[in-house]
């Protein structure tokens, strides 16, 4: 058996500050395209235009590759921020949308016998809370239900 010795690289051959090659530059671009499809908090936040050296490139490519091959991003729970305290404003003046919604309900109520009507003058309804009370009364008559309000979503 003939053994051919293969010389080791010379000491000092390692050069992580070498400028990135065209090949590496393309690899970074491809990595970046793939990274953009990751969830926001799984992205590196690295500006690839600032990558100048092989060391920086390898660091970036390692991070993205880890994310891409990791199963972590395949099973990910995104935190959704809650509105700040004080976001609730029942006294907010009603919007045109809500006002028109009441007009539509009033159109129906007018066709009912007086005893069934709410007695609420919708012209005097000024706030979201007041509008909600009126709309709830009419909806309850049109679509009676016994369930409670939806839990969880949009709570103040």
Instruction: Output DSSP code: residue 50.
Output: G
2, 96, 113, 114: residue in contact with another protein (rule CB under 8 A): 96
Q: Is 75 in the site for another protein (CB under 8 A)?
A: yes
Of 121-140, binders to another protein (CB under 8 A) are 128-129, 131-133, 135-136, 138-140
15, 30, 82, 126: residue in contact with another protein (rule CB under 8 A): 82
Q: Which residue has the tokens 């590759």?
A: 65
Q: Is 100 in the site for another protein (CB under 8 A)?
A: yes
Q: Is 65 in the site for another protein (CB under 8 A)?
A: no
Least CB distance from residue 23 to another protein, whole Å?
23
CB of 101 closer than 8 Å to CB of 72:
no
> Distance from CA of residue 89 to its chain's centroid?
24
Q: Is 31 in the site for another protein (CB under 8 A)?
A: no
Strand partners, 127: 93
Report the residue number, 19 or 83, with the smaller CB distance to another protein: 83
C-alpha atoms less than 13 angstroms from C-alpha of 43 in its C-beta half-sphere = 14
Q: Is 89 in the site for another protein (CB under 8 A)?
A: yes
Cβ neighbours around 138 below 10 Å, total: 19
Give CA separation, 90 vs 27, 87, 93, 109, 156, in Å. 54, 10, 8, 24, 11
Question: In the complex, which residues of this chain contact another protein (CB under 8 A)?
Answer: 36-37, 39-40, 73-84, 87-90, 92, 94-98, 100-101, 103-105, 107-108, 128-129, 131-133, 135-136, 138-140, 142-143, 145, 147-156
């Amino acid at each position: 058996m003939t053994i051919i010795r293969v010389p080791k690289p010379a000491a000092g051959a390692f050069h992580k500050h070498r400028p990135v090659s065209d090949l590496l530059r393309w690899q970074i671009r491809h990595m970046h395209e793939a990274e953009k499809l990751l969830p926001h908090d799984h992205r590196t936040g690295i500006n690839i235009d600032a990558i100048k050296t092989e060391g920086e490139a390898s660091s970036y490519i390692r991070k993205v590759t880890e994310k891409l091959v990791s199963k972590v991003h395949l099973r990910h729970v995104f935190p959704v921020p809650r509105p700040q305290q004080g976001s609730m404003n029942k006294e907010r003046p009603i919007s045109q949308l809500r006002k028109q919604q009441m007009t539509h309900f009033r159109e129906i109520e007018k066709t009912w016998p007086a005893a069934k009507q709410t007695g609420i003058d919708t012209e005097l309804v000024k706030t979201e809370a007041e509008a909600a009370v009126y709309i709830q009364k009419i909806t309850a008559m049109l679509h009676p239900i016994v369930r409670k309000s939806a839990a969880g979503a949009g709570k103040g």
